[in-house]
Amino acid sequence: MRYLWILLLALTPSMPAAKNLEVYFIDVEGGQSTLFVSPSGETLLMDAGYGGFNGRDAGRIAAAAKSAGVKKIDYLVISHYHADHAGGVAEVAAKLPIRNFVDHGADTETDKDSKVLFNMYSAFRDKGAHILAKPGDTIPIKGLDVKVLAGDGATLAAPLAGAGQLNPECAGWQPDPDEFVSENQHSLGLLIAFGSFRILDLGDLTSSRERELVCPVNKIGTVDVFVSSHHMGTGANTPQLVHAIRAKVAISNNGPRKGGDAVVWQRLHDSPGLSDIWQLHYALASGKDHNSADTFLANVDELCEGKWLRLTAEKDGSFTVFNSRNKYERAYK
């Protein structure tokens, strides 16, 4: 019997080493679609890009999923119901099974186009499980800690563990008033942690909600990577936020003619502790002085092949970013 047990051990394949967290920042031409692949193999897709364009965005999302070795989306998080975030749901669903749909609830915009988009999304949401996410909730992905920081116009009521420090930049600060009330202020915002690694994605959340998250105290704490809000656009990415979170790296899901604002780029560039800004596109209106070097750009031409950026994080907080266009990779301790 003892020899049989030894033989069985010898024939049993060894368990694979623990995987890391992988994050694919997919070029959807100034929209958003970010694929998180947990060490457990479960997936979270933050937004689905645009619909139309001959299935362009869904095709790019499916290609990134194939590169990651995944065949389904366990959690599709729709940050808010604008066409550049939710428009591609039907086409993504045709390419990849979606198990759970996560959103902030009802659409807050009532114009005709918004109703058509939301009804399309709802039709697909009804085919899976629906999770109504609220600030303070956790999305149950094995191997990751996914916290909801904002949603449906509300934000965290209390600081996260280890956060809560007074933010000295809040004194006397009043954020710019929102131009109009829209879905942007209702965006879901997530903080995703893998061991010591932390990445912050607030969707298109505006400065009025940023203020609630970091003033008078910083409820978030520090992060390693910041997905710049609203495609690195104005009306978000305030100094009070970006200085408080002290990210090592910022990643911008801007398009060639959308987002990538020069003022915001400079603000991020000058933030304490920030090493690099990676961009999905060269921002044409911002010029060379307010775009990152070619090395850090996934796409340099307006007519492009939709190259992606991939981040790989380890439990100790170290991570690398890889550019699929030029194969450049940089490691961060």
Q: What is the pLDDT of residue 176?
A: 75
Name residues whose C-beta falls within 8 Å of residue 177's C-beta, 6 or more positions apart in sequence. 208
Q: What is the pLDDT of residue 177?
A: 74
What's the pLDDT tens digit per position in 238-293? 999 999 999 999 999 999 999 999 999 999 999 999 999 999 999 999 999 999 99
DSSP letter (8 states) at residue 148: E
194 contacts 144 by C-beta, under 8 angstroms: yes
72 contacts 99 by C-beta, under 8 angstroms: yes
Q: What is the pLDDT of residue 145?
A: 98
Q: What is the pLDDT of residue 14?
A: 38
Name residues whose C-beta falls within 8 Å of residue 289's C-beta, 6 or more positions apart in sequence. 262
Q: What is the pLDDT of residue 195?
A: 97
Q: What is the pLDDT of residue 250?
A: 98
Q: What is the pLDDT of residue 179?
A: 60
Q: What is the DSSP string of 188-249?
A: -EEEEEETTEEEEE-TT--HHHHHHHHSSEESS---SEEE-GGGT-TTS--HHHHHHH--SE
218 contacts 167 by C-beta, under 8 angstroms: yes
Q: What is the pLDDT of residue 173?
A: 87
220 contacts 246 by C-beta, under 8 angstroms: no
Ramachandran bin of 269, using left for φ above 0, alpha for ψ from -120 to 50, beta for the remaining angles: alpha
Nearest to 292 by CA among 258, 327, 321, 268: 268
Show the DSSP H helices in 14-96 as ranges.
56-68, 83-86, 89-95
Residue segments in the chain with a per-residue pLDDT below the cut of 70: 1-18, 179-180
Tokens at 331, concatenated = 């490691």
CATH superfamily of 18-332: Ribonuclease Z/Hydroxyacylglutathione hydrolase-like (3.60.15.10)
Q: What is the pLDDT of residue 257?
A: 97
Q: What is the pLDDT of residue 8?
A: 37
Q: What is the pLDDT of residue 318?
A: 98
Q: Pseudo-torsion of CA 120, 257, 260, 297, nearest 10°?
A: 100
